[in-house]
Structure 1
Amino acid sequence: MQKSFLLPVLLFITLGVQGQSLLSVDYIMRDPKWMGTFPSSPSWSEDGKTIYFQYNLENDPADSLYKIDLSNPGSPVKVSLKEKRSLDKGLEAFNKDNTLRIYRVKNQLWIEDLKKKKESLLMEWHEAFSSIGFMADENLISFNSSGNIYLLDRTTKAIKKTTKIVSGTKPANSSSSSKEASSFLESENLALLQVVRKRKEAQEKSRAYRDAIREVEDSFAFYTQGKNLSNLQISPDAAYATFSVFTPSSNKNTKVPDYTAASGYTEDLNARPKVGTKPSKVEIGIYDLKRDTVYYVSTSDLPGIKDLPDYVKDYPDKTWEEKEREVTLSGPYFSPDGKRAIIQVRSFDNKDRWITEVDLTTGKLKTLDRQRDEAWVAGPGIGWSFGGGTLGWLPDSKHIYFQSEATGYSHLYLLDVSTGEKKALTSGNYEVFDPFLSKDKKHWYLTTSEVDPGERHFYRMPVMGGPMEKLTSMTGDNQALLSPDEKKIAIIHSYSNQPSELFVQENKAGATPQKLTSGQSEEFKAYPWRDPQIVRFDAQDGAKVPARLYLPEPSKKNGAAVIFVHGAGYLQNVHKWWSSYFREYMFHNLLTDLGYTVLDIDYRASAGYGRDWRTGIYRHMGGKDLSDQVDGAKFLVSSHGVDADRIGIYGGSYGGFITLMALFNHPDVFKSGAALRSVTDWAHYNHGYTANILNTPEEDPIAYRRSSPIYFAEGLQGNLLIAHGMLDVNVHYQDVVRLAQRLIEFGKDNWEMAVYPVEDHGFVEPSSWTDEYKRILKLFNTTLLPE
């Protein structure tokens, strides 16, 4: 076994001797499998004795399903295809106390008594069905088939169709003239053809019999009139059905040319529209099953539905019309007894979120909670423009729960629907993630950053609020998954310089976690990966900006520095767990070995620090998020002896955008920069992300003009590397093509562009990663270090 890794380790050390580092770009940018295998996506067996997870011990092309038996834990075992298929119950649902489970096998519906471990067939349906669930009366089970809802009685096995939804347009009544013509032709035909007449008489007798035994004449039907219905569901008390009508807008998509298509021809890839698109319309219909009528939810009475945004004051010459804003609806979410329902409403400009109760008899909405943000409503558990997030009912059918940034941080709330009383279950300068109820509904389980913005821990808390009990203890990130009986916790844990491993512990505070995997390769463990310092430096507006700091050995320090700018904008990279930017992390170790000081900043707009930090870039990307980089550079000069004339900057996507803004607007601070897959003009990016931050180019051109690097290209003085994948369907290659022409027209000659013909936004090929980072290292070595 030792011989299998001896040669790579020797090569590893040899590379270090040649490059004054144990690392090289070629080495760290290989296929990540060289690092080892690390667990993900854990799940439990039904009896809680086995943990399943994605893993790769056999150098497969992709991760496979593995398992560990907790009664005899040892090396992970690859799950056979037969066992894997047996684990997949497909569509399933549970009753209120989780003692019964129903699941679908092809066109059969089965029920399992989880305590007795007994299964039985409930129904074999004649066609496909979906959306199975227990009703409030758990003797009844609902399912959807052919666009309608059915109820199955578990005792009698009787099946009743509860809705009559017909796809298409309601047929018009036949005219009297056509009836007369039909009557004349029919009577003549029947008089002439005896066999036809006898068949007609038999059909009429059969129809008369069916009419006679029909209990109720079903005269009502709802015709879809060409609309696309989705999310068809029935209330737990079987009194109402609801559905959504989605009307997509016809927005123009962009095309991304693929010059390396297998056909040998240039082929176009379909890509997203640009910012400023029209909204897709979502309506919610209510089908009253007792009154046989359908009506739609009305949003016109929502408080503030006509409110104008604050930025209109910057356009005094423009006339702004007060009108109902476009909204999108999600839900309804029925109370467990089915008597009430709530709907979440989001304004399409994403400045308002209303949580409302819907009057099921009329479709009118009553606002329970309104969250307004002049920037945009978002945050953990709140979601973005199109709904989502934490929202539901307690078992008492009286309280709803949700998350809100009302205090500046995302916290968990209860609201009494009858009285309107709202109660914060958590509070403080930290955020709450992924809360859910215990199976007995007596407790909350939730993850928070209460210990530190750079740590995540798992807690338990009484359902109506009270002290939180911290269940995890390992410093870093703890992604927790409860066993079915909630007696154990599976944890995917990682630390700053330690990739993810799988642990298990008892579900109690102070329990000792047991490590189940050890996935690092011997090659990976041979290098002493740094645990970067987490620091906070002063911003020019008084904010304390968090950052990861990599300091070289004093004997190797070369006086130069590199600032890394993470992508996505709303993302956290200053933390105590293994970074999703693991290649960049390894590159920073290489740079530090070579004597560079490296700073990785959670600038304004980064995740993990509350609403004000998140929205600090509203209407000015390249404002505080850029000044944070400038202040970071000053911090390095004043506190860590960095030469002010030898500071570089680099990053990808949003990080590439900031790099361009840094070189174009602060050439006195940044001598060199590498802008990877960067946005150059926000008017060319997508709507869902950009319109939240900058509104739309048509309504707020000021925001776009001051936020887009292409308008500042004349300011380039330092050395710029642009790198971009030509198949990028996120930030299109067109972005850097337009910027390149702009730089050419300005006569700039201190820049270069590297293009990657087979790469999308996220690079895949190790050869592309290697080429890109060799160019970045060359840029810094040749421009930041003395000759």
Structure 2
Amino acid sequence: MKKFFLSISILVSAHYFTQEITLDKIYSGYYRGKGISGIASLKNGENYAVIEKDGIAKYSYKTTIKEGNIVNGNFQSYIFNDDESKILLLKESTPIYRHSFLGKFDVKDLKSGKILSLNNGNFVLEPTFSPDGTKIAFIAENNMFYQDLASGKITQITTDGKKNSILNGLADWVYEEEFGHAKLYDWTKNSDAIVFVKSNESEVPEMYIPIYGKQLYPSEMRFKYPKAGEKNSVVSAHLYRLDANKTMALNLSGFKNYYIPDVHKTAKADEIILITSERIQNSSDILKVNTKTGNITKLFTESDDQWIDTDNVTLEFLDDNSFIWGAERDGNRHLYWYDQNGKLKKQITKGNWEVTDYYGFNPKTKEVFVQTTEKGSINKVVSKINIDSGKSIIISNSEGNNSANFSGNFNYFIETSSSAAKPYTFTLKDNSGKTLKELQNNNDLLAKLKADNFVEKEFFTIPNEVGDQMNAWIIKPKNFDKNKKYPVFMYQYSGPGSQQVSNSWDGGNAIWFESLVQKGYLVVCVDGRGTGYKGTKFKKATYMNLGKYEIEDQIAAAKWLGKQSFVDASRIGIFGWSFGGYMSSLALTKGADVFKAGIAVAPVTNWRYYDSVYTERFMRTPQENPKGYDENSPTEFAKLMKGKFLLIHGTADDNVHFQNSMEFSEALIQNKKQFEFMAYPDKNHGIYGGQTRPQLYEKMTNFILDNL
């Protein structure tokens, strides 16, 4: 389960004239921000490309002047080959799950102008240039292929691919959702071999979802979905050599081999890295495959008493084939430097802060470029750190949420910066952090919001019952009177490693919260135990008891708020989506004496119904840990329900199944509990499309006004 980002739908409305934030304005696009799409550095390090309406444009870092279009036309995305002589252009796409999509692609030779339709213009998945730029591998109908770009000839690598049975080079549903990518193959650096993962999901239990539409009889969506404790795909690794046109199975029997989440090339020809794990995900083997012989050697094993974040791998091979690895060994996520044989050379970064993103290594200056929490857990900054001396210099803004897109030579970067008080700004800087030019801001958006009485968040901390200081923010009405008592509407997500209390811009829910504040509510968000960026001890405190400490902390926060002189303790509500909906469901049962009202959207209500990889990472299996599952399920505490409760779910949710809300509803019914329920026909985990979002948020707004 990943954090669910809310997006703003587009409607047409003319009700812009009141000086307040309204749902009409939010969903008309009136508050839509501006950005820069598809930024990518070109190989020379002096130019960058972006997607514009008329094509892929080329800009100079030095002058920021547009130097023309690399290609003309309307494209959704693009990928260059290594020497930038060719470009892969996405013309049309159809989404499948969170990351995967079917696409139609053209390959353009930028020297000759020749255009080739990949796979004869038919849909493919995960196309990837060979490093020498002469071929593209891709997946179609669960089989692997490659196409020679000079002749156009297509070679089929596998033949056993079959829907809901065998996948070659492609992640199944749970791998894609929880390991964070759909591609499970890579080329060797010398382009003569491909290593891929084969997934046999034939024995994985099948999930089916009715699709109603306007048809006489509902159709069905069927896919393999391993729930906690159930069978997963049986995975195996395979080596395909182009010269022999043959595939061989790789022998992983001497290593951890239940999961194979990642496949990476190294800086050396004839090598591929496999990252593998056992089912309980508390250790991973990093394996090196010799692609001439098929021999495998283990570089090292990463282990942890609780779990490894197998969905957040940092791995880069340097020119000498030494490599940089990210791990949480000292209580925070930091970088480690290994030689090519898997021997630790040194820990690169240290401190009571975390490396939250890795951008790359400059061999000339011996510097790594990273995003960190050096300026506090609610801020993200961009730094450069010398790999030899450990010297660190912040080169971005020192507050807010800052990320970077670096030039190929690391002389420049485009900084994307925001804070809770300021929408996104895109700024060109040099590698010392000097501002060269502001490329795009959202001052007009901020002016609109301020004209409509936008109020900035205030950041503070709230203690929990074990003495932790939990990060929190509050939004107060503009005419806030400390002598009045206000109702409180709490928002949270609370899932493992997540963060909602961040000094960053939120163009989705936060603007809706502003509209509630203008109606007289205090809106508060608290990140309790289990959330991220405050070290592994805080994040992993919930291990084997997912939900227990998280809801204790939300209850503690509500009680603390209720003791403040300006809060009406009898009018505290809570809202969340996905894991946050799970928390809201627990709040109105386990925390029923504290919360007057709650809204749960697409909640997990029984961890036995959620997928294996995510749930078992934090809980082990239900067979191993039945107490952890039962004592943290709101269905087990339905008899405690008090207050007003609104349950919302899309019937076609492939992630958190509608089944969760059906079971919880039945438990509430059998305990004679009254509640409101809204089902959105054929809508997935996002619950959007057409008028859906405006109707949903109007319903939630009215529920709050009526019950809090």
Normalising by the smaller structure, the TM-score range is 0.7 to 0.9
Structure 1 residues 470 and 495 mapped into 2: Cα distance closer, same or farther (>3 Å)?
Answer: same
Is contact 2:197-2:260 (8 Å) kept? no
- In structure 1, C-alpha distance between the alignment counterparts of 2:618 and 2:204, rounded to whole Å: 20
Counterpart CA distance in 1 for 2:654 and 2:524 is: 30
| Cα distance in 1 between the residues matched to 2:482 and 2:119 | 75
Q: Does 1:565 align with 2:462?
A: no
Number of aligned positions between the proteins: 647
**CA distance in structure 1 between the aligned counterparts of 2:167 and 2:645, rounded to whole angstroms:** 52
**Is residue 531 from structure 1 mapped to residue 456 from structure 2 by the alignment?**
yes
Where do residues 727-738 of structure 1 align in structure 2 (5 Å cutoff)? 727-738=652-663
Residues 88-108 of structure 1, C-alpha deviations (whole Å, 9 max, x = no match): 8755124xxxxx856689999
1:755 corresponds in structure 2 to: 679
1:355 aligns with 2:252: no
1:452-471 to 2 correspondences below 5 Å = 452-464=376-388, 466-471=390-395
Aligned residue type for 1:667? A
Q: Shift of the alpha carbon at 1:716?
A: 0.6
Structure 2 counterpart of 1:394 = 318
Give the match for residue 483 of structure 1: 407
Matched, 1:277 2:230: yes
Tell me the SS of whatever aligns to 1:587: helix
Q: Which residue of 2 aligns with 1:370?
A: 301
More strand by percentage: 2
Higher helix proportion: 1
Structure 1: distance between partners of 2:118 and 2:333: 47
Does the 8 Å contact 2:131/2:190 carry over to 1?
A: no
2:426 to 464, 480, 502: 502
1:253 aligns with 2:206: yes
CA distance in 1, matches of 2:253, 2:148: 34
Report whether the alignment pairs 1:12 with 2:1.
no
Write the mapping of 1:274-313 to structure 2, written as runs, cut at 5 A.
274-285=227-238, 296-302=249-255
In structure 2, the CA distance between the partners of 1:32 and 1:439, relative to structure 1 (3 Å rule), is farther
Out of 313, 331, 334, the residue aligned to residue 266 of structure 2 is 334
Structure 1 position 615 matched with structure 2 position 540: yes
Does the 8 Å contact 1:565/1:650 carry over to 2? yes
Q: Equivalents in 2 of 1:757, 1:148: separation in Å? A: 38
Which stretch shifts more, 677-686 or 482-491? 482-491
Moved more, 46-55 or 416-425: 46-55
Whether contact under 8 Å (1:30, 1:766) holds in the other structure is: no
Counterpart for residue 525 of structure 2: 600
- Note the 1:656-671 alignment, pairs <5 A: 656-671=581-596
Q: Distance in 2 between matches of 1:465 and 1:127?
A: 50
Partner of 2:163: none
Decide which of 274, 287, 301 is 1:343's aligned counterpart: 274
1:525, CA displacement in angstroms?
4.3
**Is contact 1:232–1:244 with CA below 8 Å preserved after alignment?**
yes
Q: Give the alignment's Cα RMSD to 1 decimal.
A: 4.5
Question: Aligned to 2:29, which of 28, 32, 37?
Answer: 32
Where 1:616 maps in the other structure, the secondary structure is helix
Q: Which moved more, 1:501-510 or 1:291-300?
A: 291-300
Contact 1:557 1:597 in 2 (8 A): no
Aligned: 1:516 with 2:440: yes
Q: CA deviation at 1:556?
A: 8.2
Q: CA, structure 1 residues 237+441, in 2 after alignment: closer, same or farther (shift >3 Å)?
A: farther
* Residues 377-388 of structure 1 aligned to structure 2 (within 5 Å): 377-378=308-309, 383-384=310-311
Q: Do 1:328 and 1:347's aligned partners in 2 also have CA atoms closer than 8 Å?
A: no
Q: Distance in 1 between matches of 2:74 and 2:207?
A: 40
What residue in structure 1 maps to residue 10 of structure 2? none
2: CA distance between counterparts of 1:442 and 1:8? Answer: 56
Tell me the residue number matched to 2:100. none
- 1:23 aligned to 21, 24, 32, which one? 21
CA distance in 2, matches of 1:762, 1:663: 23
- Residues 180-199 of structure 1: CA deviation (Å, up to 9, x unaligned): xxxxxxxxxxxxxxxxxxxx
1:411 Cα deviation from its structure 2 partner: 1.0
Inter-partner Cα distance in structure 2 for 1:673 and 1:149: 52
Q: Check whether the contact 1:41–1:53 (CA below 8 A) recurs between aligned residues.
A: yes
For 1:287 and 1:72, locate their aligned partners in 2 and report how far apart those are by CA, in whole Å: 46
Instruction: Find the aligned partners of 1:755 and 1:290 in 2 and give their Cα distance.
Output: 55
Q: What is the CA–CA distance in structure 1 between the aligned matches of 2:358 and 2:250, rounded to whole Å?
A: 29
Q: What is the CA distance between 1:524 and its match in structure 2?
A: 3.3
Residue matched to 1:587:
512
Q: Secondary structure at the match of 1:644?
A: strand
| Deviation digits for residues 242-296 of structure 1 (CA, Å, limit 9, x no counterpart) | 554443343232222233x143542323356233332323333457999999865
Query: 1:644 — aligned with what?
Result: 569
Task: Give, as a single letter, the amino acid of the residue that structure 2 aligns with 1:278.
Answer: K
Change (3 A) 1:12 1:561: same
Q: What is the CA deviation profile of residues 429-475 of structure 1, one whole-angstrom value per residue up to 9, with x for unaligned ones? A: 22211231237583322111111212222222234452122111263
- Of structures 1 and 2, the larger Rg is shown by 1
**In structure 1, C-alpha distance between the alignment counterparts of 2:494 and 2:210, rounded to whole Å:** 24
Distance apart, 1:531 and its partner CA: 2.1
Structure 2 stretches lacking a partner, 5+ long: 1-12, 90-104, 161-165, 171-183
Give the alignment's TM-score, normalised by structure 1: 0.71
Question: Which one-letter code corresponds to 1:281 in the other structure?
Answer: V
Amino acid at match of 2:81: E
Deviations 1:175-228 (A, max 9, x none): xxxxxxxxxxxxxxxxxxxxxxxxxxxxxxxxxxxxxxxxxxxxxxxxxxx995
**What does 1:79-98 correspond to in 2, within 5 Å?**
83-84=72-73, 90=79, 92-94=81-83
Are residues 482 and 104 of structure 1, via their aligned partners in 2, closer, same or farther at CA, if it must alter by over 3 Å? closer
2:328 to 385, 405, 412: 405
Distance (whole Å) between structure 2 residues aligned to residue 291 and residue 35 of structure 1: 54
Three-state SS of the structure 2 residue aligned to 1:275 is coil
1:533–1:28: structure 2 CA closer, same or farther, 3 Å change rule?
A: same
The one-letter code of the counterpart of 1:482 is F
User: Structure 2 vs 1, CA of residues 745 and 54 (structure 1 numbering), >3 Å: closer, same or farther?
Assistant: farther
SS in 2 for 1:645: strand
Distance in 2 (alpha carbons) for counterparts of 1:780 and 1:703: 32
Change (3 A) 1:723 1:82: same
The residue that corresponds to 1:430 in the other structure is 353
The amino acid that maps onto 1:760 is N
**Residue 359 of structure 1: how far off its partner (Å):** 6.4
For residues 362 and 525 of structure 1, what CA distance do their matches in structure 2 show? Answer: 65
Runs (5+) with no aligned partner, structure 1: 1-6, 14-21, 57-62, 95-99, 113-118, 170-225, 306-324
Post-superposition Cα deviations, 1:521-554, rounded to whole Å, max 9, x if no partner, equal 4643422422212212211122221111223411
How far apart are residue 600 of structure 1 and its match?
Answer: 0.3
Q: Aligned letter for 2:39?
A: P
Report deviation, 1:752. 1.5
Give how far 1:349 is off.
2.4
Structure 1 stretch 678-687 or stretch 609-618: which is displaced more? 609-618
In structure 2, the partner of 1:212 is none
**Percent identical:** 21
What is the identity, as a one-letter code, of the residue corresponding to 1:283? S
Judged with a 3 Å threshold, the aligned counterparts in structure 2 of structure 1 residues 122 and 348 are, in CA distance, closer, same or farther, namely farther
Distance (whole Å) between structure 1 residues aligned to residue 344 and residue 406 of structure 2: 32
SS of the residue corresponding to residue 673 of structure 1 reads strand
**How many Å separate the matches in 1 of 2:48 and 2:698?**
41
Partner Cα distance (1:668, 1:234) in 2: 58
* Alpha-carbon separation, structure 2, partners of 1:575 and 1:732: 29
Contact 2:283/2:302, CA 8 A, preserved across alignment: yes
